[in-house]
Amino acid sequence: MSALFAALRISRRGIGRARARSALIIVMIGLPILALTAVLTVDVTRDMKPRERLTMDLGAADAKVTDRAAEPIRQDVTGNAWEPQRDRPLRERSQAEIQAVIGSGRLIPMSEDFTEYRNGTDYASVGVREVDLRDPMTAGMYPLLRGRHPQTVDEVVVTAFLKVEVGSTIRYTRDDVPKRVVGVVVKQPDRFNIEIIGLPGSLIPVRTTTPVEASGAAERSWLVDTPAPITWNETRRINRAGVTVLSRAVLEDPPSVGDGPAQAIREWLDSRGVNGFLVGVMGVTLAVIEVVLLAGPAFAVGLRRRRRELALISAQGGSARHLKLVVLADGLTLGLAAAVLGITGGVGTARAITSYLGVWPLGEMGPFEVPAVQIALVAVLGVFSGVAAAVVPAVQAARADVMAALTGRRAEVRDRAGWPLLGLILLVVGLGAMIYGIWVSDAVVLFGAVLGLLGLVMVTPRLVRLIGGLAGGLPLPFRLAARDASRNRGRTAPAIVAVLAAAAAFSAFAVGIASERRAFEEHYRMLYPMGATAVFGKDVTEESWKKIRPIVEGALPGVPLMEAYTAVDADDRGVAFQQMDGACSRCTTSTSGFGYLPAGGPDLLRLLLGRTDRAAETALAEGKMVIFNPKAVRDGMIRLNLSTWTSDELKERIIAVPAVVATVKGPFNVLGVMPVEVITKEGFTAKLSHLIVDPAVARLTPEQEQRLSGPVRAVTPKVAVQTERGSRRDDRPDLILWVMAAFASVVVLGGTFTAVGLAAADARSDLDTLSAIGARPGTRRLVAAGQAAFIVGLGVPLGLLVGLVPGFALASQASLRRDATQEIGLNGVPFEKMGVILSVPWPNLLAVGIGLPLAVALIAMAFARTRTTLTRRMG
């Protein structure tokens, strides 16, 4: 311990003498700690715990109960996660029946749903809640900003995000029901930004079906004020009646062993949590390696500056272990300083952010909270990074030539260029892990990336030496820069690998974004032919169509309207015509489109084919189906399964209909077109579902589409207007990509300029010698540019190429996962599986690979020091 204390004292004094270099190391280690601390603190503060949400969820009530229409059930302590213990659906119960289950106490109803409201000429989604905010039980749930609480069914309050004034009127649902805004309230975190709150029975229609028949219907619950707290045992009793409970008493004093939902739910969460934890560990490991690579050169230069001091320690009896301990003490001291400063700065930054965002109800954040355990781990990580960055310089210090250091001569450089064989082995193993991870998980891919990065750390010194040996034909400044980099591989190689890692991360990220965008474009299937406008609604009545048609004809005078029909039974229930033979993976099955098999005339057929096919039109006029999938037609017939849902069963029967095949290029919108006579022949009714505008006659602009949509949707909320414009390009991935490029550039610039600055300080005597023999200041600038170009010119292009491997692995994994989770489409038709989809954004990579080295070299040349310092040479 005495040796450690002595080493720490020596380290403290050395740090004080080299303040600039020490500050640089502290910044390199401390900035990631600051960022992690701030992110963790803001995240844990923003993520409100159930106990912190009691006022929002319960107001002043003792509990909230929700009818789950099943019995018995099990729940977690919050009541949000639950499951029936037996498949025994019940009807929805009344408040009196819930009162009987709860026993003594007072109940008030509360329901929540989401719907739409008129936003100008269009409709937008809005959250809806029914609760009497005048009741003392709701105190604190929605604090008023201005106005008052609703007193009649025609009055509502809204959250501030709706940006309406008190006294104004909003149009609620597509029926444009007027509601008068009498107050503005505070939005609850993790709920709809735009929310409307009214009295019970004023916003959500009364449900006449059971929850099983009306999936996605409003959730109905009650706030409860009981004489005694609802304990966990009481909660379990209420669960046996099929009612979940959010109890204030249970959250304030949770049971030691919860009688939670099925263990399968917890295991599913645990499996996702384990994978997320492993991904986090791999990501942190990569970050630590990056920090070590950036800080390592500074320790290496510091070692050469202190070689005389270390030589004196050795001459006075210090062993190699003592010299290692002194250098490692530098890493420990600087790591501790960086951890303290980083954590302090991170907590302060998080505090400033949460203060700016505000604590609810003044803002979106919860009570300020510092995750002590996680931050302690971050601190340990920072200290470990500092010590790890000093390991290689410590080993070099133990091997230093004492006599050379004491006489001021430069020690002979050992001709050892890393561990290339071990590095190659790690590269191969890492590559195999990344390929294997395609079928396993992201964590395995990142583990392979960690191994590959360690392999590059070991191989790069040999690569630097080889490239330095090829610099003989370069101009003098660049030759000096290349040979200096080769001679000081301990300083150059870590900087190159750090730059390489940043470039590889950008490359992998770019491949992932480009592949995801291409997959979206490949999977996109047009609902209608390009440019066609459809006014559609499967449940629109004939009376509504009679009002809609004149509106469309008035907006588009002289434009013919094509018609498409769908089949319904005597009770106006839709009938599905499903193909039996020959899988149709190239068909669009979205209910927003025509459906699977629309009925129509020759004009609809011409629209779908994109051309005139006389033979197909003749067959359609003769009552035959025109089918686009050749595999579906056998011996001139197509077999179809006719299915329709009644209130309690699925009715099905199979028919065979004459059909012909028409050729259509590419993925098509529907299976084909059937004549209206087929529907009527089978005993069903042909119901108008679409009015289509041929794009060859008129193409609507978005403004025209919006102007048409308002009057049409005012007739009935069951109709919509849509123009097919293909897959919409989303510019957000491009923005994210360039943000990632900027982040990688910052790392590259930081690592490169650190290495160039250290090289300039380390080679100051050589540069002064150049000036003494007549070299111009521009020569020194070119040497600095050459040093920067050597690091970035080798690290960035190589990193961009190396990053393609994990990028391809992660993109391939995403493609396979997407195909594996494809569900059965409409009418049982499977969606198309596209396989592995990869894309490389070469323009982005070339811009970074060429532009960044040039920019770095020019910046280094512009800011290089050209002042000559005269020194006296000894020996």
- The model's confidence at residue 826, banded by pLDDT at 50, 70 and 90, is very low
- The model's confidence at residue 784, banded by pLDDT at 50, 70 and 90, is confident
Across 111-120, 317-326, 825-834, least confident range? 825-834
Across 161-170, 669-678, 788-797, 860-869, least confident range? 860-869
pLDDT score for 213: 37
Higher pLDDT, 132 or 747: 132
Mean pLDDT for 487-503 is: 81
The token pair that represents 762 in the structure block: 């380390």
pLDDT score for 874: 47
Mean pLDDT for 558-575 is: 86
Q: Is 339 helix (H, G, I), strand (E, B) or coil?
A: helix
Mean pLDDT for 341-370 is: 88
pLDDT score for 208: 43
Across 89-93, 280-284, 556-560, least confident range? 89-93
Whether residue 818 contacts residue 831, with contact meaning beta carbons closer than 8 Å, is answered with: no
Task: Examine the pLDDT at 366 and tell me if it is beyond 80.
Answer: yes
pLDDT score for 291: 80
pLDDT score for 248: 92
pLDDT score for 438: 82
The tens digit of pLDDT for each residue in 36-57 reads 899 889 988 888 888 888 888 8
The tens digit of pLDDT for each residue in 63-73 reads 999 988 777 88
Mean pLDDT for 534-557 is: 88
pLDDT score for 148: 93
Mean pLDDT for 114-127 is: 78
pLDDT score for 820: 59
- The model's confidence at residue 264, banded by pLDDT at 50, 70 and 90, is very low
Task: Examine the pLDDT at 261 and tell me if it is beyond 80.
Answer: no
Exposure pattern of 501-514 as b/e (b: 16+ CB <10 Å)? bbbbbbbbbbbbbb
Mean pLDDT for 769-785 is: 75
- The model's confidence at residue 196, banded by pLDDT at 50, 70 and 90, is very high
Task: Examine the pLDDT at 209 and tell me if it is beyond 50.
Answer: no
Across 12-16, 333-337, 515-519, 674-678, least confident range? 12-16
Give the CA distances from residue 608 to residues 76, 319, 446, 532, in Å, rounded to whole numbers and listed in that order: 53, 86, 47, 10
pLDDT score for 132: 93
- The model's confidence at residue 348, banded by pLDDT at 50, 70 and 90, is very high
The tens digit of pLDDT for each residue in 834-850 reads 667 788 888 888 888 88
Task: Examine the pLDDT at 338 and tell me if it is beyond 70.
Answer: yes
Mean pLDDT for 135-157 is: 92
- The model's confidence at residue 77, banded by pLDDT at 50, 70 and 90, is confident
Higher pLDDT, 616 or 366: 616
Angle at 305 between CA 304 and CA 309, to 5 degrees: 95
Task: Examine the pLDDT at 789 and tell me if it is beyond 80.
Answer: yes
Task: Examine the pLDDT at 674 and tell me if it is beyond 70.
Answer: yes
Give the CA distances from residue 679 to residues 397, 566, 635, in Å, rounded to whole numbers and listed in that order: 90, 8, 22
Give the CA distances from residue 478 to residues 394, 485, 598, in Å, rounded to whole numbers and listed in that order: 31, 10, 72
Task: Examine the pLDDT at 724 and tell me if it is beyond 60.
Answer: yes
Query: Mean pLDDT over all residues of the chain?
Result: 80
pLDDT score for 198: 93
Task: Examine the pLDDT at 271 and tell me if it is beyond 50.
Answer: no
Torsions phi, psi of 176, nearest 5?
Answer: 55, 45
Kindly compute the dihedral angle of the four CA atoms of residues 816, 817, 820, 824, in this order, to the nearest 10 degrees.
-120
- Cα 98 from chain centre: 41
- Cα 240 from chain centre: 39
pLDDT score for 443: 80
- The model's confidence at residue 407, banded by pLDDT at 50, 70 and 90, is low
Please report, in angstroms and rounded to a whole number, the separation of the first and last CA atoms in the chain.
38
Higher pLDDT, 547 or 174: 547
- The model's confidence at residue 867, banded by pLDDT at 50, 70 and 90, is low
pLDDT score for 274: 59
pLDDT score for 257: 52
* Sequence-ordered list of residues with C-beta below 8 angstroms from that of 162, at least 6 positions apart, any chain: 126, 170, 184, 194, 196
Task: Examine the pLDDT at 304 and tell me if it is beyond 70.
Answer: no
Across 254-268, 355-369, 380-394, least confident range? 254-268
* Sequence-ordered list of residues with C-beta below 8 angstroms from that of 514, at least 6 positions apart, any chain: 839, 840, 841
- The model's confidence at residue 136, banded by pLDDT at 50, 70 and 90, is very high
Q: Report d(CA 831, CA 819) in Å as an integer.
A: 9
Q: Report d(CA 702, CA 700) in Å as an integer.
A: 7
Task: Examine the pLDDT at 400 and tell me if it is beyond 70.
Answer: no
Give Dmax over CA atoms of the chain in angstroms. Answer: 110
Beta bridge partners, 172, equal 117, 177
Q: Is 568 helix (H, G, I), strand (E, B) or coil?
A: strand
Task: Examine the pLDDT at 618 and tell me if it is beyond 70.
Answer: yes
Task: Examine the pLDDT at 89 and tell me if it is beyond 70.
Answer: no
